[in-house]
Structure 1
Amino acid sequence: MATFEKGILGGFSGKVGNVVGSRWRGKNVMRSLPQRGSYTPTELQLEQRKRFKTVITFITPIKGLLSKYFGKPQGDKSRYNLATSYHLTEALTPIPDGFAINYQKVLISKGDLRGLQQPNLAAAANQALDLTWEDNSGQGNAAADDVLIVVVYAANEQLFQVFNPASTRDQAAVQLSLPAFMAGFEVEVWASFVNQTGKDAAVSSYLGTVTVL
Protein backbone atom coordinates (compact mmCIF):
# COMPACT_ATOMS: atom_id res chain seq x y z
CA MET A 1 0.00 0.00 0.00
CA ALA A 2 1.31 3.46 -0.86
CA THR A 3 0.20 6.96 0.13
CA PHE A 4 0.47 10.18 -1.85
CA GLU A 5 -0.44 13.79 -1.24
CA LYS A 6 -0.37 15.35 -4.66
CA GLY A 7 0.04 13.96 -8.10
CA ILE A 8 -0.77 14.93 -11.62
CA LEU A 9 -4.42 14.13 -10.95
CA GLY A 10 -4.52 14.49 -7.18
CA GLY A 11 -6.36 11.95 -5.04
CA PHE A 12 -8.84 9.55 -6.59
CA SER A 13 -11.32 6.92 -5.50
CA GLY A 14 -12.06 3.65 -7.23
CA LYS A 15 -10.24 1.31 -9.59
CA VAL A 16 -7.88 2.53 -12.30
CA GLY A 17 -6.09 -0.22 -14.16
CA ASN A 18 -4.64 -2.60 -11.63
CA VAL A 19 -4.70 -0.16 -8.69
CA VAL A 20 -7.44 1.05 -6.36
CA GLY A 21 -7.51 4.56 -4.90
CA SER A 22 -9.22 5.51 -1.66
CA ARG A 23 -9.06 7.86 1.32
CA TRP A 24 -7.83 6.36 4.60
CA ARG A 25 -7.25 8.30 7.85
CA GLY A 26 -7.08 11.56 5.95
CA LYS A 27 -4.56 10.32 3.42
CA ASN A 28 -4.82 9.37 -0.22
CA VAL A 29 -4.06 5.68 -0.53
CA MET A 30 -3.29 3.45 -3.51
CA ARG A 31 -3.16 -0.32 -3.36
CA SER A 32 -2.88 -3.01 -5.98
CA LEU A 33 -5.83 -5.21 -6.79
CA PRO A 34 -5.86 -8.44 -4.81
CA GLN A 35 -4.75 -11.49 -6.74
CA ARG A 36 -7.44 -14.09 -7.22
CA GLY A 37 -6.34 -17.24 -5.49
CA SER A 38 -7.25 -20.80 -6.27
CA TYR A 39 -10.91 -21.50 -5.48
CA THR A 40 -12.61 -24.82 -5.03
CA PRO A 41 -16.42 -24.70 -5.06
CA THR A 42 -18.29 -26.61 -2.39
CA GLU A 43 -20.41 -29.66 -3.15
CA LEU A 44 -23.54 -27.57 -2.59
CA GLN A 45 -22.31 -24.93 -5.06
CA LEU A 46 -21.54 -27.61 -7.65
CA GLU A 47 -25.01 -29.06 -7.15
CA GLN A 48 -26.65 -25.66 -7.60
CA ARG A 49 -24.69 -25.10 -10.79
CA LYS A 50 -25.89 -28.42 -12.19
CA ARG A 51 -29.48 -27.62 -11.25
CA PHE A 52 -29.31 -24.20 -12.89
CA LYS A 53 -27.62 -25.48 -16.05
CA THR A 54 -30.21 -28.23 -16.47
CA VAL A 55 -33.14 -25.83 -16.17
CA ILE A 56 -31.68 -23.04 -18.31
CA THR A 57 -30.68 -25.46 -21.07
CA PHE A 58 -34.24 -26.77 -21.14
CA ILE A 59 -36.27 -23.54 -20.95
CA THR A 60 -34.13 -21.14 -23.00
CA PRO A 61 -35.58 -22.26 -26.38
CA ILE A 62 -39.10 -21.39 -25.13
CA LYS A 63 -38.09 -18.22 -23.30
CA GLY A 64 -40.38 -16.11 -25.49
CA LEU A 65 -43.40 -18.19 -24.53
CA LEU A 66 -42.60 -18.19 -20.81
CA SER A 67 -41.93 -14.45 -20.87
CA LYS A 68 -45.47 -13.84 -22.14
CA TYR A 69 -47.58 -16.36 -20.28
CA PHE A 70 -45.93 -17.49 -17.04
CA GLY A 71 -47.79 -15.80 -14.18
CA LYS A 72 -47.57 -12.10 -13.41
CA PRO A 73 -44.34 -10.12 -12.91
CA GLN A 74 -43.56 -9.63 -9.21
CA GLY A 75 -41.51 -6.54 -8.45
CA ASP A 76 -38.20 -6.92 -10.29
CA LYS A 77 -38.93 -10.58 -11.11
CA SER A 78 -40.01 -11.06 -14.70
CA ARG A 79 -42.21 -13.91 -15.90
CA TYR A 80 -39.09 -15.67 -17.14
CA ASN A 81 -37.48 -15.27 -13.71
CA LEU A 82 -40.58 -16.82 -12.14
CA ALA A 83 -40.51 -19.68 -14.64
CA THR A 84 -36.85 -20.32 -13.88
CA SER A 85 -37.48 -20.36 -10.13
CA TYR A 86 -40.45 -22.69 -10.50
CA HIS A 87 -38.57 -25.24 -12.59
CA LEU A 88 -35.53 -25.12 -10.28
CA THR A 89 -37.65 -25.99 -7.24
CA GLU A 90 -40.42 -28.15 -8.73
CA ALA A 91 -39.35 -29.76 -12.02
CA LEU A 92 -36.00 -31.45 -11.35
CA THR A 93 -35.28 -35.10 -10.57
CA PRO A 94 -31.90 -36.21 -9.18
CA ILE A 95 -29.96 -38.68 -11.33
CA PRO A 96 -26.53 -40.27 -10.68
CA ASP A 97 -24.55 -37.59 -12.52
CA GLY A 98 -26.73 -34.56 -11.81
CA PHE A 99 -30.35 -33.67 -12.53
CA ALA A 100 -32.99 -34.34 -15.17
CA ILE A 101 -36.18 -32.49 -16.06
CA ASN A 102 -39.36 -34.01 -14.64
CA TYR A 103 -41.59 -33.47 -17.65
CA GLN A 104 -44.81 -34.08 -15.72
CA LYS A 105 -44.03 -31.01 -13.58
CA VAL A 106 -43.06 -28.70 -16.44
CA LEU A 107 -45.33 -25.70 -17.03
CA ILE A 108 -45.35 -23.70 -20.26
CA SER A 109 -47.83 -21.19 -18.84
CA LYS A 110 -49.35 -20.25 -15.52
CA GLY A 111 -52.40 -18.15 -14.73
CA ASP A 112 -56.04 -18.02 -13.70
CA LEU A 113 -57.69 -18.91 -17.01
CA ARG A 114 -59.56 -22.22 -17.12
CA GLY A 115 -57.38 -24.89 -18.71
CA LEU A 116 -57.97 -27.93 -20.91
CA GLN A 117 -60.74 -30.28 -19.84
CA GLN A 118 -60.35 -34.01 -20.56
CA PRO A 119 -57.54 -33.68 -23.11
CA ASN A 120 -56.55 -36.72 -25.15
CA LEU A 121 -53.45 -37.04 -27.32
CA ALA A 122 -52.65 -39.69 -29.94
CA ALA A 123 -50.11 -40.14 -32.72
CA ALA A 124 -51.47 -40.18 -36.27
CA ALA A 125 -50.01 -41.08 -39.65
CA ASN A 126 -47.53 -38.85 -41.46
CA GLN A 127 -45.92 -37.29 -38.38
CA ALA A 128 -49.13 -35.83 -37.00
CA LEU A 129 -50.54 -35.60 -33.49
CA ASP A 130 -54.29 -35.63 -32.84
CA LEU A 131 -55.40 -33.66 -29.79
CA THR A 132 -58.97 -33.50 -28.51
CA TRP A 133 -60.55 -31.88 -25.46
CA GLU A 134 -63.97 -30.98 -24.11
CA ASP A 135 -65.26 -27.54 -25.05
CA ASN A 136 -65.78 -25.89 -21.67
CA SER A 137 -66.51 -22.43 -23.06
CA GLY A 138 -68.62 -20.37 -20.69
CA GLN A 139 -67.43 -22.16 -17.57
CA GLY A 140 -65.90 -19.54 -15.30
CA ASN A 141 -63.64 -17.30 -17.38
CA ALA A 142 -63.33 -19.74 -20.31
CA ALA A 143 -64.20 -18.13 -23.64
CA ALA A 144 -64.85 -19.85 -26.95
CA ASP A 145 -62.10 -17.89 -28.70
CA ASP A 146 -59.37 -18.62 -26.15
CA VAL A 147 -56.23 -19.59 -28.06
CA LEU A 148 -54.76 -23.08 -27.75
CA ILE A 149 -50.96 -23.31 -27.48
CA VAL A 150 -49.15 -26.63 -27.83
CA VAL A 151 -45.47 -27.34 -27.15
CA VAL A 152 -43.84 -30.53 -28.41
CA TYR A 153 -40.38 -31.54 -27.17
CA ALA A 154 -38.13 -34.30 -28.47
CA ALA A 155 -35.91 -34.90 -25.44
CA ASN A 156 -33.22 -37.01 -27.09
CA GLU A 157 -32.73 -34.36 -29.78
CA GLN A 158 -33.38 -31.39 -27.43
CA LEU A 159 -35.77 -30.05 -30.05
CA PHE A 160 -38.91 -27.95 -29.49
CA GLN A 161 -41.86 -27.44 -31.83
CA VAL A 162 -44.27 -24.70 -30.73
CA PHE A 163 -47.80 -24.33 -32.15
CA ASN A 164 -49.06 -20.86 -31.31
CA PRO A 165 -51.84 -20.53 -32.18
CA ALA A 166 -52.83 -24.16 -32.61
CA SER A 167 -56.62 -23.79 -32.39
CA THR A 168 -59.33 -22.24 -30.22
CA ARG A 169 -61.18 -23.64 -27.22
CA ASP A 170 -64.49 -24.12 -29.03
CA GLN A 171 -62.97 -26.31 -31.76
CA ALA A 172 -62.38 -29.16 -29.30
CA ALA A 173 -59.92 -30.88 -31.66
CA VAL A 174 -56.82 -30.18 -33.71
CA GLN A 175 -54.30 -32.12 -35.77
CA LEU A 176 -50.72 -30.95 -35.41
CA SER A 177 -48.31 -31.62 -38.27
CA LEU A 178 -44.67 -32.20 -37.34
CA PRO A 179 -41.70 -32.16 -39.74
CA ALA A 180 -41.10 -35.41 -41.60
CA PHE A 181 -37.68 -35.88 -40.03
CA MET A 182 -39.36 -36.32 -36.62
CA ALA A 183 -40.79 -39.71 -37.59
CA GLY A 184 -39.86 -42.17 -34.86
CA PHE A 185 -39.03 -39.44 -32.33
CA GLU A 186 -40.37 -39.83 -28.80
CA VAL A 187 -41.89 -36.52 -27.76
CA GLU A 188 -43.27 -34.85 -24.63
CA VAL A 189 -46.31 -32.62 -25.13
CA TRP A 190 -47.90 -29.77 -23.16
CA ALA A 191 -50.88 -27.57 -23.99
CA SER A 192 -52.57 -24.49 -22.58
CA PHE A 193 -55.06 -21.74 -23.32
CA VAL A 194 -54.49 -17.97 -23.36
CA ASN A 195 -57.18 -15.37 -23.88
CA GLN A 196 -57.39 -13.19 -26.97
CA THR A 197 -55.61 -10.27 -25.31
CA GLY A 198 -52.73 -12.49 -24.23
CA LYS A 199 -52.99 -11.07 -20.73
CA ASP A 200 -54.31 -14.20 -19.04
CA ALA A 201 -53.26 -17.81 -19.37
CA ALA A 202 -54.17 -21.16 -17.90
CA VAL A 203 -51.97 -23.48 -15.92
CA SER A 204 -50.72 -25.71 -18.70
CA SER A 205 -51.48 -29.44 -18.96
CA TYR A 206 -48.91 -32.18 -19.49
CA LEU A 207 -50.33 -34.49 -22.16
CA GLY A 208 -47.79 -37.27 -21.91
CA THR A 209 -45.24 -39.01 -24.12
CA VAL A 210 -45.97 -40.28 -27.64
CA THR A 211 -43.88 -41.69 -30.47
CA VAL A 212 -44.27 -39.83 -33.75
CA LEU A 213 -45.41 -42.08 -36.61
Structure 2
Amino acid sequence: MGKFKNGILGGFNGKVGNVVGATWKGITYMKAIQNTGNKKATQKQIIQRAKFGFAAQFLQPLYPVIQMGFKTLGVKQSAQNAAIAHLLNYAVTGEYPAFAVDYDNLYLAKGSLKVNDSASIEIVDGRIAFNWIDTDKALQIHGQEQALLIGIANGYYPTYSIDEYTREERTGSIAFPNAPTGSLVHCYIAFAESEGMQRASNSVYLGTVSIP
Protein backbone atom coordinates (compact mmCIF):
# COMPACT_ATOMS: atom_id res chain seq x y z
CA MET A 1 0.00 0.00 0.00
CA GLY A 2 1.32 3.46 -0.90
CA LYS A 3 1.55 6.20 1.69
CA PHE A 4 1.11 9.87 0.74
CA LYS A 5 3.37 12.57 2.10
CA ASN A 6 2.06 16.13 2.63
CA GLY A 7 -1.50 15.16 1.76
CA ILE A 8 -3.13 14.10 -1.46
CA LEU A 9 -1.05 16.53 -3.55
CA GLY A 10 2.26 15.34 -2.14
CA GLY A 11 4.50 12.50 -3.23
CA PHE A 12 4.03 8.93 -2.02
CA ASN A 13 6.06 5.86 -1.24
CA GLY A 14 4.97 2.36 -2.12
CA LYS A 15 2.65 0.87 -4.70
CA VAL A 16 -0.68 2.21 -5.87
CA GLY A 17 -2.22 0.11 -8.63
CA ASN A 18 0.39 -0.27 -11.35
CA VAL A 19 2.42 2.77 -10.18
CA VAL A 20 5.27 2.80 -7.66
CA GLY A 21 6.24 5.94 -5.75
CA ALA A 22 9.70 6.39 -4.24
CA THR A 23 12.18 9.01 -3.07
CA TRP A 24 15.74 9.39 -4.28
CA LYS A 25 18.02 12.06 -2.76
CA GLY A 26 14.99 13.96 -1.54
CA ILE A 27 13.27 13.85 -4.91
CA THR A 28 9.96 12.02 -5.12
CA TYR A 29 9.16 10.19 -8.35
CA MET A 30 6.75 7.66 -9.78
CA LYS A 31 7.22 4.88 -12.30
CA ALA A 32 4.92 2.37 -13.92
CA ILE A 33 5.29 -1.31 -13.16
CA GLN A 34 6.06 -3.28 -16.31
CA ASN A 35 3.50 -5.90 -17.15
CA THR A 36 5.53 -9.04 -17.71
CA GLY A 37 2.41 -10.96 -18.58
CA ASN A 38 1.63 -14.61 -18.07
CA LYS A 39 0.81 -15.53 -21.63
CA LYS A 40 1.91 -19.06 -22.37
CA ALA A 41 3.95 -19.91 -25.44
CA THR A 42 2.05 -21.52 -28.29
CA GLN A 43 2.86 -25.05 -29.41
CA LYS A 44 4.48 -23.62 -32.56
CA GLN A 45 6.72 -21.37 -30.45
CA ILE A 46 7.68 -24.27 -28.21
CA ILE A 47 8.67 -26.36 -31.24
CA GLN A 48 10.65 -23.50 -32.82
CA ARG A 49 12.55 -22.85 -29.59
CA ALA A 50 13.30 -26.54 -29.14
CA LYS A 51 14.51 -26.84 -32.73
CA PHE A 52 16.77 -23.81 -32.36
CA GLY A 53 18.12 -25.18 -29.07
CA PHE A 54 18.85 -28.53 -30.72
CA ALA A 55 20.79 -26.85 -33.55
CA ALA A 56 22.75 -24.60 -31.18
CA GLN A 57 23.64 -27.51 -28.91
CA PHE A 58 24.76 -29.66 -31.85
CA LEU A 59 27.11 -26.98 -33.20
CA GLN A 60 28.48 -25.75 -29.86
CA PRO A 61 31.37 -28.31 -29.70
CA LEU A 62 32.29 -27.35 -33.28
CA TYR A 63 32.62 -23.63 -32.50
CA PRO A 64 36.30 -23.29 -33.62
CA VAL A 65 35.45 -24.98 -36.93
CA ILE A 66 32.40 -22.76 -37.43
CA GLN A 67 34.43 -19.63 -36.69
CA MET A 68 36.68 -20.43 -39.64
CA GLY A 69 34.13 -22.06 -41.90
CA PHE A 70 31.40 -19.41 -41.70
CA LYS A 71 33.53 -16.33 -41.05
CA THR A 72 32.75 -14.52 -44.30
CA LEU A 73 29.02 -15.28 -44.01
CA GLY A 74 28.84 -13.62 -40.62
CA VAL A 75 28.69 -10.05 -41.98
CA LYS A 76 25.43 -9.01 -40.34
CA GLN A 77 25.41 -11.88 -37.86
CA SER A 78 27.93 -14.03 -36.05
CA ALA A 79 29.51 -17.02 -37.76
CA GLN A 80 27.76 -19.20 -35.17
CA ASN A 81 24.34 -17.77 -36.02
CA ALA A 82 25.01 -18.16 -39.75
CA ALA A 83 25.86 -21.83 -39.19
CA ILE A 84 22.78 -22.38 -37.01
CA ALA A 85 20.55 -20.78 -39.65
CA HIS A 86 21.97 -23.03 -42.36
CA LEU A 87 21.59 -26.11 -40.18
CA LEU A 88 17.96 -25.26 -39.36
CA ASN A 89 17.08 -24.60 -43.00
CA TYR A 90 18.76 -27.59 -44.60
CA ALA A 91 19.89 -30.30 -42.22
CA VAL A 92 17.57 -30.65 -39.21
CA THR A 93 15.12 -33.51 -39.67
CA GLY A 94 12.59 -35.32 -37.50
CA GLU A 95 9.59 -34.15 -35.53
CA TYR A 96 9.47 -32.48 -32.14
CA PRO A 97 10.89 -33.50 -29.75
CA ALA A 98 12.96 -36.11 -31.65
CA PHE A 99 15.08 -33.92 -33.95
CA ALA A 100 18.03 -35.35 -35.87
CA VAL A 101 20.76 -34.17 -38.27
CA ASP A 102 20.83 -35.04 -41.96
CA TYR A 103 24.60 -35.43 -42.24
CA ASP A 104 24.53 -35.52 -46.05
CA ASN A 105 23.18 -31.95 -46.10
CA LEU A 106 25.18 -30.61 -43.14
CA TYR A 107 27.67 -27.86 -43.97
CA LEU A 108 30.43 -26.93 -41.54
CA ALA A 109 31.94 -24.35 -43.89
CA LYS A 110 30.52 -22.18 -46.66
CA GLY A 111 32.47 -19.91 -48.93
CA SER A 112 33.96 -19.06 -52.29
CA LEU A 113 37.27 -20.91 -52.15
CA LYS A 114 37.83 -23.80 -54.53
CA VAL A 115 36.26 -27.03 -53.33
CA ASN A 116 38.40 -30.13 -53.44
CA ASP A 117 36.32 -32.89 -55.01
CA SER A 118 38.83 -35.72 -54.86
CA ALA A 119 39.25 -36.21 -51.11
CA SER A 120 38.92 -39.62 -49.44
CA ILE A 121 39.08 -41.14 -45.97
CA GLU A 122 40.55 -44.33 -44.54
CA ILE A 123 41.67 -45.75 -41.21
CA VAL A 124 45.45 -45.65 -40.70
CA ASP A 125 47.16 -46.55 -37.42
CA GLY A 126 43.97 -46.12 -35.42
CA ARG A 127 43.18 -42.65 -36.79
CA ILE A 128 40.98 -41.23 -39.52
CA ALA A 129 43.27 -40.32 -42.41
CA PHE A 130 42.16 -37.74 -44.98
CA ASN A 131 43.77 -37.61 -48.41
CA TRP A 132 43.16 -35.16 -51.22
CA ILE A 133 44.58 -34.38 -54.64
CA ASP A 134 45.45 -30.94 -55.98
CA THR A 135 47.50 -29.96 -58.99
CA ASP A 136 50.79 -28.16 -58.51
CA LYS A 137 49.29 -25.15 -60.28
CA ALA A 138 46.36 -25.03 -57.84
CA LEU A 139 48.69 -25.34 -54.89
CA GLN A 140 50.69 -22.32 -56.03
CA ILE A 141 47.58 -20.29 -55.19
CA HIS A 142 45.87 -22.37 -52.51
CA GLY A 143 48.73 -24.34 -50.95
CA GLN A 144 48.88 -22.42 -47.66
CA GLU A 145 45.19 -22.73 -46.87
CA GLN A 146 44.37 -24.57 -43.65
CA ALA A 147 42.78 -28.00 -44.01
CA LEU A 148 39.67 -28.38 -41.82
CA LEU A 149 39.20 -32.07 -41.00
CA ILE A 150 36.16 -33.08 -38.95
CA GLY A 151 34.75 -36.31 -37.56
CA ILE A 152 31.31 -36.50 -35.88
CA ALA A 153 29.87 -39.53 -34.10
CA ASN A 154 26.20 -38.95 -33.33
CA GLY A 155 25.74 -38.07 -29.66
CA TYR A 156 29.45 -37.79 -28.86
CA TYR A 157 31.97 -34.97 -28.78
CA PRO A 158 33.44 -34.47 -32.28
CA THR A 159 37.10 -34.45 -33.20
CA TYR A 160 38.67 -32.05 -35.67
CA SER A 161 41.82 -30.35 -36.90
CA ILE A 162 41.79 -26.75 -38.07
CA ASP A 163 45.43 -25.66 -38.02
CA GLU A 164 47.64 -28.75 -38.14
CA TYR A 165 47.72 -29.32 -41.89
CA THR A 166 47.88 -27.15 -44.98
CA ARG A 167 46.39 -27.89 -48.33
CA GLU A 168 49.77 -28.47 -49.94
CA GLU A 169 50.42 -31.46 -47.65
CA ARG A 170 47.60 -33.37 -49.33
CA THR A 171 47.05 -35.52 -46.25
CA GLY A 172 46.17 -35.23 -42.57
CA SER A 173 44.53 -37.21 -39.79
CA ILE A 174 42.38 -36.88 -36.68
CA ALA A 175 41.62 -39.15 -33.74
CA PHE A 176 38.33 -41.00 -33.48
CA PRO A 177 35.62 -39.47 -31.31
CA ASN A 178 35.29 -41.13 -27.91
CA ALA A 179 32.40 -43.33 -28.98
CA PRO A 180 31.84 -47.13 -28.72
CA THR A 181 33.36 -49.60 -31.16
CA GLY A 182 31.25 -49.86 -34.29
CA SER A 183 29.95 -46.29 -34.09
CA LEU A 184 29.79 -44.47 -37.41
CA VAL A 185 31.87 -41.30 -37.75
CA HIS A 186 30.68 -38.76 -40.32
CA CYS A 187 33.67 -37.07 -41.95
CA TYR A 188 34.04 -33.65 -43.58
CA ILE A 189 36.81 -31.65 -45.19
CA ALA A 190 37.07 -27.96 -46.03
CA PHE A 191 39.79 -25.38 -46.57
CA ALA A 192 40.16 -21.89 -45.16
CA GLU A 193 42.56 -18.99 -45.42
CA SER A 194 44.51 -18.19 -42.27
CA GLU A 195 45.36 -14.65 -43.41
CA GLY A 196 43.85 -11.91 -45.52
CA MET A 197 40.10 -12.20 -46.09
CA GLN A 198 40.05 -15.57 -44.29
CA ARG A 199 37.67 -17.04 -46.82
CA ALA A 200 36.62 -20.68 -46.70
CA SER A 201 35.48 -23.32 -49.14
CA ASN A 202 32.27 -25.28 -48.85
CA SER A 203 32.73 -28.32 -46.66
CA VAL A 204 32.53 -31.69 -48.42
CA TYR A 205 30.87 -34.71 -46.83
CA LEU A 206 33.13 -37.73 -47.30
CA GLY A 207 30.89 -40.40 -45.83
CA THR A 208 31.53 -42.51 -42.75
CA VAL A 209 34.07 -44.80 -41.17
CA SER A 210 33.32 -47.26 -38.38
CA ILE A 211 35.27 -47.05 -35.12
CA PRO A 212 37.38 -50.21 -34.84
| 2:52 alignment partner, SS class | helix
Q: How many residues align?
A: 196
Superimposed CA distance per residue, residues 25-64 of structure 1 (whole angstroms, 9 cap, x where no aligned partner) = xxx8665554743x43222112202211210110011123
Please give the alpha-carbon distance, in whole angstroms, between the structure 2 residues aligned to 1:35 and 1:136: 62
Equivalent residue number for residue 112 of structure 2: 112
- Alpha-carbon deviation of 1:95? 3.8
Q: 2:190 aligns with which of 181, 192, 196?
A: 192
Residue 12 of structure 1 corresponds to which residue in structure 2?
none
The aligned counterpart of 2:41 is 41
CA distance in 1 between counterparts of 2:68 and 2:131 reads: 25
Per the alignment, do residues 140 and 133 of structure 1 end up closer, same or farther by CA in structure 2, a change over 3 Å counting? closer
Give the distance between the partners of 1:64 and 1:121, measured in 2 at CA: 22
SS at match of 1:149: strand
Matches within 5 A, 1:168-207: 168-178=166-176, 183-197=181-195, 199-207=198-206
Q: Hey, what does 1:63 align to over in structure 2?
A: 63
Q: Give the aligned residue type for 2:163.
A: P
Residue 91 to residue 131, structure 1, CA distance change in 2 (3 Å): same
Aligned to 2:26: none
Q: 8 Å contact 1:190–1:207 — kept in the other structure? A: yes
Q: Cα 1:71–1:136, aligned 2, differ >3 Å: closer, same or farther?
A: farther
- Provide closer, same or farther for how the CA distance between residues 152 and 31 of structure 1 changes in structure 2, counting only shifts above 3 A: same
Q: What letter corresponds to residue 57 of structure 1 in structure 2?
A: Q
Q: Is the 1:19–1:31 contact (alpha carbons within 8 Å) kept by the matching residues of 2?
A: yes
- Over residues 88-121 of structure 1, what are the superposed CA-to-partner deviations in whole Å (9 max), with x where a residue is unaligned? 1111112474321111122221111112221111
Contact 1:137 1:143 in 2 (8 A): no
Q: What amino acid sits opposite 2:167 in the alignment?
A: R
Match of 1:7 in 2: 11
1:98-156 per-position Cα deviation (integer Å, ceiling 9, x unaligned): 321111122221111112221111233x5311221111453499512221111111113
Q: TM-score, normalized by length of structure 1?
A: 0.75
Q: Distance in 1 between matches of 2:36 and 2:71?
A: 44
Identity %: 22
Q: 1:71 to 1:34 in 2, by over 3 A?
A: closer
TM-score, normalised with respect to structure 2: 0.76
Q: Is the 8 A contact 2:68 2:192 kept in 1?
A: no
Alignment gaps of 5+ in structure 2: 22-28
Name whichever of 159-168 and 132-141 sits farther off.
132-141
Give unmatched runs, 5+ long, in structure 1.
10-17, 22-27
SS at match of 1:108: coil
Over 6 Å off, 4+ runs: none
* TM-align CA RMSD: 3.3
Q: Is the 8 A contact 1:151 1:190 kept in 2?
A: yes
Match of 2:144, as an amino acid?
A: D
Matches within 5 A, 1:58-137: 58-72=58-72, 73-75=74-76, 77-95=77-95, 97-124=97-124, 126-136=125-135
Does the residue aligned with 1:94 lie in a helix, a strand or coil? strand
Instruction: Work out the CA distance in 2 between the residues paired with 1:137 and 1:195.
Output: 18
Aligned 8 A contact 1:135 1:171 in 2: no
Distance 1:117 1:54 in 2: 30
1:167 aligns with 165
2:110/2:202 contact within 8 Å kept: yes
